[in-house]
Amino acid sequence: MLNQQILMQQLQQVRQTGPLVHCMTNDVVVNFTANVLLAIGASPAMVMAREESVPFARIASSLLVNVGTLTPELADSIKAAVIAAHEAGKPWVLDPVAYGVLDFRTRFCDGLLQYRPAVIRGNAAEIAAMGGQKSLSKGTDSLTSSNEVLECARQLARQHQTVVAMTGQTDYVTDGVSTYALDNGHEQLTRITGAGCSLSAMVAAYCAVCETPLLAALAALSHMGIAGELAAGRTRAVGSFAVALLDELDLLAQNGVQQLQCQQV
């Protein structure tokens, strides 16, 4: 499904097309997410207001919804944008930050699922909770490992006819029928804020240009995972790692793509 050549093609598609990604994300990661999208060649636009979210969802190439710092006002605006994207046939991606930990955001995410996200991207605890299984987390961070809850991810994808991209030490991407394991990445990605949130924005960018959401999720997760490895290989600690990550997302080319670790499971 994903090999080095196909990954290079998807990377180039994003760089050549420059998809406009409507980001409705949390307050913590706004700037980092915009920089990550710019680094991969996409165009970020953070449009949150109720008065603007619907017209912008119609214009944008894709929409990212992240509930990390949800408020009642933002929830109304996000719901309207999701309906607009759904009606306009634009792909949208759900990042259910801390799903299952807090009731308001959990119920809100549940209510969005009828509008068919192209991809749900979350950590293992979030995906397990969405699939109805007990999971452990510490605030927004997962304490559950992805391989423990793989069957849950598959079920979630089948139940909502979507693609589930579950990240962790090993990332899994599944549409409920085919499942892929991605073994790129680096522990440093867990030590900066916004790696997961900006990865979900990358998935939205790839959804705008890739033939299927499954391919989009595989390409985006591989791009982030390999860039994380390259960045960790040439930095000493987390501050410079975050900067180097942007460089490696920008520069990723054939020699880095050779590190791709993707297999069907």
Contact footprint for Mg ion (CB under 5 A): 97, 195-196
4 binds, among ligand ATP, Mg ion, ligand TZP, none (CB under 5 to 8 A by kind): none
Q: Which of 189, 205, 207, 209: binder of ligand ATP (CB under 6 A)?
A: 189
226 binds ligand ATP (CB under 6 A): no
Q: Which residues contact 69 (CB under 8 A, 6 or more apart)?
A: 26, 27, 28
Q: Which is nearer to ligand ATP, 91 or 228 (CB)?
A: 228
The DSSP code for 206 is H
CA-based R_g, the chain, Å: 17
Ligand-binding annotation for 185, yes or no, is: no
Length in residues, the chain: 265
What is the number of helices (H) and of strands (E) in the chain?
Answer: 11, 11
Beta bridge partners of 119: 93, 163
29 binds, among Mg ion, ligand TZP, ligand ATP, none (CB under 5 to 8 A by kind): ligand TZP
What span, in angstroms and rounded, lies between the C-alpha atoms of 144 and 159?
22
Q: Which of 13, 35, 167, 174: binder of ligand ATP (CB under 6 A)?
A: 167
Which amino acid makes up residue 33? T
168 binds, among ligand ATP, Mg ion, ligand TZP, none (CB under 5 to 8 A by kind): ligand ATP
Using CB under 6 A, which of the segments 57-65, 101-109, 188-196, 241-249 binds ligand ATP?
188-196
Applying CB under 6 A, the residues found at the interface with ligand TZP are 26, 28-29, 68-69, 97, 140, 193-197
Residue number of the CB closest to ligand TZP reads: 68
Q: Which residues contact 20 (CB under 8 A, 6 or more apart)?
A: 42, 43, 45, 59, 60, 61, 208
Q: Which is nearer to Mg ion, 196 or 256 (CB)?
A: 196
171 binds ligand ATP (CB under 6 A): yes
Q: Which of 96, 117, 131, 196: binder of ligand ATP (CB under 6 A)?
A: 196
> Could you tell me which of 73, 118, 82, 94 has the C-alpha nearest to residue 210?
118
Beta bridge partners of 50: none
Contact of 162 with 117, CB cutoff 8 Å: yes
Ligand-binding annotation for 121, yes or no, is: yes
> Could you tell me which of 18, 42, 45 has the C-alpha nearest to residue 202?
42
Ligand-binding annotation for 8, yes or no, is: no
Which amino acid makes up residue 136? L
Q: Which is nearer to Mg ion, 95 or 248 (CB)?
A: 95
77 binds ligand ATP (CB under 6 A): no
Contact of 227 with 252, CB cutoff 8 Å: yes
Residue found by looking up tokens 């979900």 in the block: 200
Binding site for ligand ATP (CB under 6 A): 123, 140-142, 167-169, 171, 185-187, 189-190, 195-196, 199, 221, 224-225, 228
Binding site listing for substrate: 46, 194
Binding site listing: 46, 121, 167, 194
